[in-house]
Chain A
Amino acid sequence: QSALTQPASVSGSPGQSITISCTGTASDVGTYKLVSWYQHHPGKVPKLMIYEDDKRPSGVSFRFSGSKSGNTASLTISGLQAEDEADYYCCSYGGRFNWLFGGGTKLTVL
C-alpha cells in the first residue's frame, strides 16, 4: 500500500482536460510545499513535470499545472494529446528525511 493515494486510472479525449489527485495527510502533503509529479512512459526514464507543488520545470509544457488544497495535491493536464498517455506519480516529503510516492495513475487518451 502506497503512502500517497492516487486513482489507478483516468482517461480523456484529445483536447480535453483531466485532473489526477494525490491524497496524503497533514504530516506530509498538508505540511510541506514539496509535492512533485513525474511522467513515466513504460521503459523510459521518469520525467519531472511539477515540483514544489506548482512550479513547472523549464521545457515542460504549460498544459501541465499543479495545485494543492489541504492534504490533496492535483495535477491538471489541459488540451490532452496522445503523447500525454503515460503513468503519473506524485511524490511528497514526509518529514524526517523521508519521501513518499503515490501508487501511480495510468492516463489513457481515448
Chain B
Amino acid sequence: QLQESGPGLVKPSQTLSLTCTVSGSSIHNGNYYWTWIRHHPGGGLEWIGYIYYDGNTYFNPSLKSRLTMSIDTSENQFSLNLIFVTAADTAVYYCARCPIPGYFDYWGQGAPVTVSS
C-alpha cells in the first residue's frame, strides 16, 4: 500500500511538498522505481518523475527545473518537492510503484493539491 500526505493548499510561488509512505513492500527493493504522477482537473494523467532506492532520480523534462525528490529507506518513504508553483500545478498527486522495466501497479489514494492565494 502507498499513502500520500501533505498540505492540500499551497500559495502561488511557494513549494509543494508531499510524502508517500509505503507499506507491504520494501522501498529498498531494487526491482522498483518509486513514482509521482498527477491528474489535472478535467484533464489527463502526467508522469512527474521517479526515484530509485539509491537516490537516483528521473524527471519529466517539463518539470525538471522545479523538481526534487528524496528517499528515506529507514522510514520506507519517498518525497516530492515542487518549487515556484502556479495554478497549473493544481492536481491530484498520486504516488505509485513502478516495477522495472516499467508500468505502475500500485497507486496511493491520491492527494488533492490546490494552488491558490
**A residues whose Cβ falls under 8 Å from a Cβ of B:** 2, 34, 36, 38, 40, 45-48, 51-52, 57, 89, 91, 93, 97-104
Give the complex CA separation of A99 and B105 in angstroms: 15
Contact A98 B47, beta carbon cutoff 8 Å: yes
Is B60 located at the chain interface by the 8 A CB criterion?
yes
B43 vs chain A, min Cβ distance (A): 7
Cβ of A104: which chain B residues have Cβ within 8 Å of it? 43-45
A to B CB contacts below 8 Å, 8 in the list: A38-B45, A46-B94, A48-B105, A91-B47, A93-B101, A99-B60, A101-B46, A104-B45
Main secondary structure of the interface of A (DSSP, over half): strand
Nearest B residue to A43, CB-CB: B110
Cβ of A46: which chain B residues have Cβ within 8 Å of it? 45, 94, 104, 107
Contact A45 B104, beta carbon cutoff 8 Å: no
Cβ of B61: which chain A residues have Cβ within 8 Å of it? 98
Among the listed B43, B45, B103, B109, which residue makes an inter-chain contact with A45, where contact means beta carbons less than 8 Å apart?
A: B109
Which residues of B in the span 1-49 have a Cβ within 8 Å of any Cβ on A?
39, 43-47
Tell which of A2, A34, A57, A99 has the most Cβ of chain B within 10 Å: A99
Among the listed A2, A34, A89, A103, which residue makes an inter-chain contact with B102, where contact means beta carbons less than 8 Å apart?
A: A34
Cβ of B44: which chain A residues have Cβ within 8 Å of it? 2, 89, 101-104
Among the listed A93, A98, A101, which residue makes an inter-chain contact with B45, where contact means beta carbons less than 8 Å apart?
A: A101
Cβ of B104: which chain A residues have Cβ within 8 Å of it? 36, 38, 46, 48, 91
Cβ of A101: which chain B residues have Cβ within 8 Å of it? 44-47
Tell which of B45, B46, B60, B109 has the most Cβ of chain A within 10 Å: B45
Give the complex CA separation of A54 and B26 in angstroms: 28
Task: Name the 3 nearest CB pairs between A and B, nearest first.
Answer: A97-B58, A51-B103, A99-B47
Nearest A residue to B109, CB-CB: A45
A91 vs chain B, min Cβ distance (A): 7
Known: A46-B94, A97-B58. A91 touches B45 (CB 8 A): yes
